[in-house]
Amino acid sequence: MITRREVLQVGAATAALTAGGAFTRAFAQQRLTEAELLRFDPLGTVTLLHVTDMHGQLMPVYFREPTVNLGVGEAKGQPPHVTGKDFLKRFGIPEKSAAAYALTDQDFEALAKSYGRIGGIDRLASVVKRVRAERGADKVLLLDGGDTWQGSLGSNRSKGQDMVDCMALLKPDAMTGHWEFTYGEARVKALIDGLGFPFLALNIRDTEWNEPAFEPMKMFEKGGVKIAVLGQAFPYTPVANPRWMMPKWSFGIREEDVRANVEKARKAGAQLVVLLSHNGFDVDRKLAARVAGIDVILTGHTHDALPEAIAVGKTLLIASGSHGKFVSRLDLDVAGGAVKGYRYKLIPLFSDVIAPDAEMAAMVAKVRAPFAADLKREVGRADSLLYRRGNFNGTFDDLICAALLKERDAEIALSPGFRWGTSVLPGQPITVEDIHNATAITYPQVYRTAMTGERLKEVLEDVADNLFNPDPYYQQGGDMVRCGGLGYSIDISKPIGSRISGMTHLKSGKPIDAKKEYTVAGWASVNEGTEGPPVWNLVERYIAAEKTVRVTPNTSVKISGV
Amino acid sequence: MRQLSRRAALLLGASGAALTIAGWNSDAFAAAKDAADDIAKFTGGKTAEKGKVSIELPEIAENGNTVPLSIAVDSPMTADNYVTDVLVVADGNPRPGVATFHFSPLSGKAEASTRIRLATTQNIIAVAKTSKGEFFTAQKLVKVTIGGCGG
């Protein structure tokens, strides 16, 4: 049986700064110490460390958590669909505290100046080493939930090698994936061959014979407990990303295969069953309620950072955030093949507080060296906060859309609702690295095409259903497609085909005509043979011409049915 | 006919069941036949009971032109109690009929796999008929998307 959830532990990170604005960076750091951030009263004999969705980020980042993250169906109003002040209230976090800064959008600009960047794989390495040393390496499993090898200039140019080389120093015990597959079968196989630890994915089969294409699980023994780790890759990789890049692999949730592997693990003597998942939180919540025998699901994909474990029946769901901001520590007391108790802490890696690991810092410098000149090159300056994360729009996407409209002379721009992409503070230079942190994919071509109003509505309806279908198994886990030059209303409670209305061509103020053709520019098309310049070139040219970028709040999407 | 035999061969290889393929309607403009009519014809108007039938299909199709489908019916498959036929219909295709699988006690298991084509998001319904004249059914919604904005 699982004991009552532990009191929120975000270390000393709940200590609030004095309200009223006089919080200097030095003062903020005084309040936080590495020892307190990592302080943990150990429990049982097993420790799981979990990182996920690092998206190619080796350095500490600014990443603003979402303002809008709506849940539908049974997930409505449930974590992770709680944001801002409601989030602080739900988890008992003081306003303006370090935890408030790490976990929400509240006072982001001011708190970012006080608390600084979060993350950095060298800080992560410090924490991993310390936990292994204090706990005993024979009790610790380090698991990587995937979306590790993609999302930055260095990752894209090295085809994931920079992340693989740095992660190798951390010595993870297993990983699974999603964007990894967009490097193509040959590259993925070559990287996996050199990992030295298993890449687990029970839900991928080959398209020819419908047979398992990856190792489904791995058995470990830690702290005297037999642990089965099952891997679940992102089920909709060939739908949300180009299928032509991975034609021999077929994915899917494959609930039956999850069930079969759990049973197999138990039969093989597993006393603890862990699903290392890239399903997305809502999918995992449903899965946990339907598949018996999973003790822990380490969730990923939807980039949620929750300071508590969420229990679904006897299964614990852990959400460890994204972009290298956090590492989760879950201590488990396992006896007689059951979890008797647990203690959990989501550790925010405040980069000013946690000392970097020297060995990892040297490796980061080494893998970044070939691109160093590009990475730091300043293209322009931000006059307002640039961020992406949120269900409907983000200022970085508005900037990308403005670039697409201008540089490709289009009436309407479409930009994918990815959940990765870092933030730039007002007053900061916008570097080439910042641009790539929002655009670095292996299919970056910006197309220019004609679409009828009817087709545009179909696209919006289709993507909205990926996000707001009340059955999580039909959700893909991205955010809504971002639009430039196009406004609309959305009722998220309606079924597909009825959510979108009031589509307006913003420049003329006229309603979108179903039969009229509009010139549309967009990027990240999943179609093979898409032609056009890479999106980062257009964005760079646009920012260079603008010099200083100010993005005003986007009010062109009206939301209802919440 | 080439397509028919290829699919039939694939199926036979998988399970040893015989198959009649309804085929993709060559007349794209023909009115969609109501799936319910097909089922009513198959059951002789009897209401099929939910259960015993499991359908394995993706929730979201990776490629609507070739969606892997497996069906299995929980049955002893003995001489006096076995599944004789399984009808599969897709309620959103121009012609809803997908396939009818035929079994005998010699089939051993009432299981079959094939690949189907789905024009749009729709329900796939399987109805099993037993030698005792019972009918069992299950259905699953398969979404066919435009795709491309997840992640």
| Residue type, position A155, single letter | S
Question: Tokens 């498959």 appear where?
Answer: B77
Question: Which residue from B113, B121, B149 is facing A481, i.e. has the nearest CB?
Answer: B149
C-alpha torsion angle, residues B70, B73, B76, B80 (rounded to 10)? -110
Per-residue confidence band for B146, with pLDDT thresholds at 50, 70 and 90: confident
Cβ contact A474–B113 (<8 Å):
no
3-state secondary structure of A187: helix
pLDDT for residue B148: 52
Interface list for chain A against chain B, based on CB atoms closer than 8 Å? 178-179, 210, 235-236, 238-241, 243, 250-253, 256, 416-420, 458-459, 462-463, 465-466, 469, 471, 473-474, 476-478, 480-481, 496, 524-526
Q: A337 falls in which pLDDT band (50, 70, 90)?
A: confident
Q: Give the sheet arrangement for strand A378-382, strand by strand.
A: A429-431, A378-382, A548-549
Would you call B146 and A458 a contact, using CB atoms and an 8 Å cutoff?
Answer: yes
Q: What domains, with CATH codes, occur in chain B? A: 2-142 (2.60.40.2470)
Percent above pLDDT 90 for chain B: 68
Q: Is B134 exposed, middle or buried (0-12, 13-18, 19+ CB in 10 A)?
A: middle
Q: Of A520, A514, A499, A506, which is closest to residue A552 (Cα–Cα)?
A: A506
Q: Which of A52, A148, A208, A236 to mutate to test the interface with B (most CBs of B within 10 A)?
A: A236
pLDDT in tens, B63-113: 999 999 999 999 999 999 999 999 999 999 988 999 999 999 999 999 999
Lowest mean pLDDT among A14-18, A245-249, B145-149: A14-18
Which of B59, B71, B111, B114 to probe by mutation at the A interface, max A CB count within 10 Å? B59
Q: Closest Cα partner for B87 from B120, B68, B112? A: B112
Question: Which of A426, A427, A425, A500 has the alpha carbon at shortest distance from A463?
Answer: A500
Contact A238 B62 (CB under 8 A): yes
* CATH class of the structural domain A377-560: alpha beta
Smallest Cβ–Cβ distance between B149 and the set A253, A466, A471 belongs to: A466
The helix (run of H) or strand (run of E) holding residue A501 is strand A500-505
Could you give phi then psi for residue B93, rounded to 5 degrees?
A: -80, 155
On chain B, the residues whose CB falls within 8 A of the CB of A477 are: 150-151
Confidence of residue A226 (pLDDT cuts 50, 70, 90): very high
Residues on chain B bordering chain A, Cβ-to-Cβ distance under 8 angstroms: 56, 58-63, 68, 113, 121, 141, 143, 145-151
Contact by Cβ (8 Å): A8, A93: yes
pLDDT of B16 above 50: no
Task: Find, among B102, B105, B52, B98, the residue nearest to B74 by Cα.
Answer: B52
pTM, rounded to two decimals: 0.92
Q: Do A525 and B121 touch (CB under 8 A)?
A: no
Q: What is the pLDDT of residues A29-75, one digit of tens each?
A: 667 899 999 999 999 999 999 999 999 999 999 999 999 999 999 99
For the segment A480-493, what is each residue's pLDDT rounded down to a tens digit?
A: 999 999 999 999 99
pLDDT (mean) for A524-536: 95
* Cβ(A284)–Cβ(A316) below 8 Å: no
Q: Return residue ranges of chain A for CATH 3.90.780.10.
A: 377-560
- Best interface-test mutation with A: which of B10, B11, B57, B60 has the largest number of A CBs within 10 A? B60
* Alpha-carbon distance A250 to nearest alpha carbon in chain B (angstroms): 8
List the single residue in B121, B141, B145 with the smallest CB-CB distance to A239.
B145
What residue ranges in chain B does DSSP mark as E strands? 18-21, 49-50, 53-56, 67-73, 83-90, 97-102, 110-116, 122-130, 135-142
Q: What is the pLDDT of residue A31?
A: 76
Q: Which helix (H) or strand (E) holds A482?
A: strand A482-484
How far apart are alpha carbons B110 and B107 in whole angstroms? 7
Q: Between vectors from CA B141 to CA B139 and to CA B144, what angle results, nearest 5°? A: 145
With beta carbons less than 8 A apart as the criterion, state whether A325 and A102 touch: yes
Q: Please say if the pLDDT value at position B18 is more than 80.
A: no
Identity of the residue in B56, B146, B151 whose CB atom sits nearest the CB atom of A418: B151
Per DSSP bridges, beta strands B18-21 and A557-560 are: unpaired
**Closest chain A residue to B13 measured between Cα atoms?**
A209
Closest residue in B to A525 (Cα) is: B148
pLDDT value of position A553: 86
Which of A203-207, A430-434, B16-20, B71-75 has the weakest average pLDDT? B16-20
CB contact under 8 A, B113 and A417: no
Mean pLDDT of chain B: 81
Residue A254: C-alpha distances to residues A204, A212, A273, A439, A473 (Å)? 9, 11, 18, 31, 10
Alpha-carbon separation of residue A403 from A145, A412, A526, A552 (angstroms)? 33, 11, 21, 15
Instruction: List every span in chain A annotated with CATH 3.60.21.10.
Output: 25-367
**pLDDT score recorded for residue A372:** 97
Which residues of B fall within a CB distance of 8 Å from A446? none
Place of tokens 């503070």: A425
The pLDDT value recorded for residue B34 is 76
Residue A98 has what pLDDT? 95
One CATH from 3.40.109.10, 1.20.1250.20, 3.40.50.150, 3.60.21.10 for A25-367 = 3.60.21.10
Name the residue in chain A with its Cα closest to that of B70.
A210
ipTM: 0.89
| pLDDT tens-digit map of A367-401 | 999 999 999 999 999 999 999 999 999 999 999 99
